[in-house]
Amino acid sequence: MNLIELTEKLVKFPSYTNENGAIDECLNFCINYFGNNSKIFVRREEKNGVKSVLLSNTETLNFDVLEVGHIDVVPVNSNDMFNPKIINNIMYGRGTGDMKGMVAVAMKVFEYIIENNLKLKYGLLIVTDEEPGGFDGSQYWAEEIGLKTKILLDADAGKDINTIIYKAKACYFIKLIAKGKSAHGSMPWFGEDANEKLMNTIINLRQIFPYISEKSGIQDKWVTTMHVSLMNGGQAINTISNYAEAILDFRYTDKYNNDSLFNIIKENLEEDVDFIVQEKGIPVFNNKENKYLQLYKAEIENITGKEVIFDFTTGASDARYFSKSSDIIISNRCNCDCLHANGEWLDLGQQEQFYQIRINFLKKLLSFN
C-alpha cells in the first residue's frame, strides 16, 4: 500500500472524538497494517474511555525518536468528506491535513525503519483525543506512564513544509467566581453586585493584558493574550446579582509562567472574587541552534530546495506534554489548509517530500553526534 492509498484508507474512517466504533476500527487498522511482525511491539492503553496505542521497535518507554499523531477528527457537515477526492494532486477530505495525512507518513516511516532495521529506538504514539485537549491520550502517556524521548517529531503543529515551529504559547484557563448580595434592582444600595465585582476584576487584568482584536493592528503577535470566553451572572432583570462567573483564556509567551500568572491574577482580584485554575498549559520553547533541529533543517532544504523559516504558533498541540520529557521537539508538516472546515485539503506532492525528509533525517541520526 503506497502513501496515498494509506492516507485514503485512514480518511475514510469517520473517527470523531469519542466515536468509539470508528475510533476502534481506525486504531485496529493502524495496528493490523503492520501484520504479525515479531519486530514490532504494540501497547494499547485506555483512560476514561479514551484509547491510544504505542507502536515501537523496542519494549522501552525511553526512545531516541518518538512521533506523536492523532486520528480523531472534528465533525463535518456532510459525510461525503469521508470519501476523499484527489484533484490536481490535492486530496480533499476531513482529516487529510489534521492529521491523518501526517499519521500515514509516520506509519510509512515506521514501516521503513522495521524493514531496513534502522538501529534507532523509535516509537509511534497514536492517540484519539487531541481535538478536545489530549488529556487522556498524550498527557496520560507523558505524565503518568512516563513515556520519554530524545527527539519528538510533531507534525500536528506547523504551517508548511519549509517552516519549523520552534516555540509555542502555553494556555492557562481560569474560572473567576464573584459573590455578592441580592437586592431589588431599584434599590442597589441594599445589595452587593457580583456582576460589578467580576467586571472590575476583568478591567484590572485588562490593564496588564490589553484587549486585542482584528482592529488592533498589532505587528508582533508573540504577546500574551487574555480572552474572556464565557460570562454568566444574575438571576433576573430586576435583581442585583449575588453570583457571577467568567472563564478567562490566557495564551502566554516566555515572559510569564504558571506561577507568575497565578500571582498576577491573585493580586488583581476585587473583594469577594476568587478563581479556580482549570488548566495549566505547558509552553514549548526550542533553541533554534540545537544540533538536531539544524540537521532537520538541512534535510528540508535538501529535499525542497528552499530556505527554512523558523516561526512560532499561538496554538497548541499534544507535543506540549512532552516538553519536559524530551530534549527537542521538531514541529513542521507538509502543506494543508481549511482544517476544521469544509474543503480541508492536503498537498500530496509535499506529503511525499515530507516522508523523504523524515527518512533522510533518521538515517543521518545513525551516524550523528
In which domain, by residue range, is 191 found?
175-280
Q: What is the CATH number of the domain that holds 8?
A: 3.40.630.10
User: Could you tell me the three cell numbers for 195?
Assistant: 456582576
Q: Into how many domains does the chain fold?
A: 2
pLDDT for position 316: 78
Kindly state whether residues 138 and 212 are assigned to the same domain.
no
The answer to whether the Cα torsion of 106, 107, 112, 113 is positive or negative is positive
Residue type, position 287, single letter: N
What pLDDT shows up at residue 19? 85
Co-location of 327 and 214 in the same domain: no
| Distance between CA atoms of residues 88 and 70, nearest Å | 26
148 and 187 part of one domain: no
The answer to whether residues 8 and 144 belong to one domain is yes
pLDDT of residue 273: 98
Question: Tell me, what CATH number does 213's domain have?
Answer: 3.30.70.360
Q: CA-to-CA distance for 266 and 160, rounded, in angstroms?
A: 40
DSSP 190: G
The answer on 133 and 71 residing in a single domain is: yes
Quick one: pLDDT at residue 291? 95
Maximum distance among all alpha carbons in the chain? 80
One domain, residues 180 and 146: no
* Dist CA 57 CA 44 (whole Å): 15
What pLDDT score was predicted for residue 18?
Answer: 85
**How do 148-154 and 326-331 pair as beta strands?**
parallel
The identity of residue 247, as a single letter, is I
Contact 362, 65 (CB under 8 A): yes
- Domain final residue pick, 241, 256, 280: 280
Contact 288, 308 (CB under 8 A): no
Q: How many CB atoms lie within 10 A of CB 181?
A: 13
287 shares a domain with 276: no
pLDDT in tens, the chain (369 residues): 999 999 999 999 999 988 889 999 999 999 999 999 999 999 999 999 999 999 999 999 999 999 999 999 998 888 889 999 999 999 999 999 999 999 999 999 999 999 999 999 999 999 999 999 899 999 999 999 999 999 999 999 878 999 999 999 999 999 999 999 999 999 999 999 999 999 999 999 999 999 999 888 888 899 999 999 999 999 999 999 999 999 999 999 989 999 999 999 999 999 999 999 998 888 888 999 999 999 999 999 999 999 999 999 887 788 999 988 999 999 999 999 999 889 999 999 999 999 999 999 999 999 886
pLDDT at 369: 62
In DSSP terms, which residues pair with 45 in a beta bridge?
52
pLDDT for res 78: 81
User: Does 28 lie in the same domain as 45?
Assistant: yes
Same domain as 359, residue 274: no
Alpha-carbon distance 124 to 114, whole Å?
12
Return the SS3 of 175: strand
| 311 contacts 164 by C-beta, under 8 angstroms | yes
Same domain, yes or no, for 79 and 150?
A: yes
Beta strands in 234-305 (DSSP E): 239-240, 243-252, 273-280, 284-285
Do residue 163 and residue 179 come from a single domain? no
For residue 240, report the phi and psi dihedrals to the nearest 5 degrees: -70, 130
Q: What's the sign of the alpha-carbon dihedral 199, 204, 205, 211? A: positive
Same domain for 302 and 262? no
Domain boundary among 231, 257, 280: 280
* Sign of CA pseudo-dihedral 136, 4, 30, 141: negative
